[in-house]
Structure 1
Amino acid sequence: MKRADFIKKFAYGGSILLTAPLILSACSGDDDEFVPEPNIPNNLTIDLSSSTYEDLGSIGGYVYEGDILIFRTGDSAYLALSKICTHQSCTVAYDHSNGNILCPCHSSRFTTAGAVINGPATSSLKKYSVQKNGDILTIS
């Protein structure tokens, strides 16, 4: 083998060894390690008579308030979950027709209690307590 061929092959092989960890780590399963904690005040109040929340006027409607997804599942039943998918922090949405929460980025599905139905997400969405008093929802 000529010296020039040896140097080329050595350089080529060395570059593969140096870049392999970067390429392989791009496909690792650690994508759902960091998910920011939803940011809400201690008690969030929602006035259902406000036009801002008119989508909550019908069953199946939902709105976002900060990092919270608030949705209506029945005549006077409301639920609140983190809107941040635990896989890669995309914003989830309520799918009333299927009765679950869907992440549009990678198709993770969650129950209305926040539990994972199918991944790639492996952690549940944070669930919040919702109290209704007249036209006021209190989320804590």
Structure 2
Amino acid sequence: MSTSRRGFLRGLVGAGAGAAAAGLPGCAPDISPAPVLDAQKESDGTVILQVARYPDLTKEGGAVTLRVPGEQPLLVMHTAEKGANEYKVVSAICTHSGCPLGFQDGEAICPCHLSRFSTDGKVTQAPAKAPLTKYEASFDGVLLTIDFAAGEEGFPSVQNGKIFFPFSSFPELQTAGGRVQGVPEGYGKLIFVFALEGGAYAAVDSLCTHQQCPVSYDESAGDLLCPCHNSRFTKTGDVTRGPDPSGAITIGPLKKFTATSDATGVTLTIS
């Protein structure tokens, strides 16, 4: 499962990253990239790995980059942080410029510009500013289970394909310009809900359609910004700026959810 760093970059995120790899700064450390592993989600939104089958996961300090259809790549790390086998899972793409991450000295490291992240995704060294996405994972001694549908405590969950935001709990949605964001259980990814002018609502997923980096809300501009390649999206998910100033690379809008409201709150349809 070994691979060269340049080949790893091409294989993980395509030719664009491969070209970037050719121009990596000379100061970049000689980081061994996490080998790429493909997996499929179960019907309940989990991925289950039999750890013994993957030498890079059985050893402390080992890691793999996990590719799952429809999801951003994940960095799966064997950390032994509690004195026993411990696995941590975060998004595998640096939030600074979109480079794939390696795992070294107990941290996720970007070979392009030396950004570092703790195993729970927090930035420990710039130039990256935004954290990585953290995923729930459990290990029973044989099987490692990664939960793509886990949600954020206190945030509404998906029920029968819908998410309800009562105004009593989310009063900010009663005023134009209000915003709610979080990770609903049953969906597992960050979403944004916006109260628009005229009483309308918009709701979008957070994954940029270029290389699946998570976008964040830019308070100063009032829109959504991808920190990896500076793409921008409106509150309704439409693209206003792509990753390439020349326009050579075109991308699609963010995933949108149908949002309706009544006197009690806002309901999203998740599909």
- RMSD, matched Cα: 3.5
Say whether residues 1:48 and 2:167 are aligned partners: yes
How far is the alpha carbon of 1:77 from its aligned partner? 1.9
Find 2:7's aligned residue among 16, 19, 22. 22
Aligned to 1:115: 238
Q: 1:65 to 1:23 in 2, by over 3 A?
A: closer
1:99-140: CA deviation from partner (whole Å, max 9, x where unpaired): 532223432111333222212271221111111011211100
Q: 1:49 to 1:23 in 2, by over 3 A?
A: closer
CA distance in 2, matches of 1:106, 1:61: 27
Q: Aligned partner of 2:229: which letter?
A: H
Aligned residues with identical type, % of pairs: 34
Structure 1 unmatched ranges of 5 or more:
1-17
Q: Aligned partner of 1:123: which letter?
A: G
Say whether residues 1:58 and 2:58 are aligned partners: no
Is the radius of gyration larger for structure 1 or structure 2? Answer: 1
Deviation larger for 100-109 or 21-30: 21-30
Q: How does 1:123-134 map to 2 (within 5 A)?
A: 123-134=252-263
CA distance in 2, matches of 1:29, 1:116: 19
CA distance in 1, matches of 2:5, 2:212: 27
Relative contact order: is structure 1 or structure 2 higher (C-alpha 8 Å, sep ≥ 6)?
Answer: 1
Q: 1:80 to 1:20 in 2, by over 3 A?
A: closer
What TM-score, normalized by structure 2, do the two folds share?
0.36
CA distance in 1, matches of 2:6, 2:219: 43
Q: Aligned partner of 2:195: which letter?
A: R
SS at match of 2:7: helix
SS at match of 1:70: strand
CA distance in 1, matches of 2:193, 2:9: 39
The size of the alignment, in residue pairs, is 119
Q: Aligned partner of 2:216: which letter?
A: A
How far is the alpha carbon of 1:46 from its aligned partner? 0.6
What TM-score, normalized by structure 1, do the two folds share?
0.63
- Select the structure that is richer in helix: 1
Q: 1:58 to 1:91 in 2, by over 3 A?
A: farther
Structure 2 unmatched ranges of 5 or more:
19-68, 73-147, 150-156, 184-188, 244-249
Q: How does 1:51-90 map to 2 (within 5 A)?
A: 53-66=170-183, 67=189, 68-90=191-213
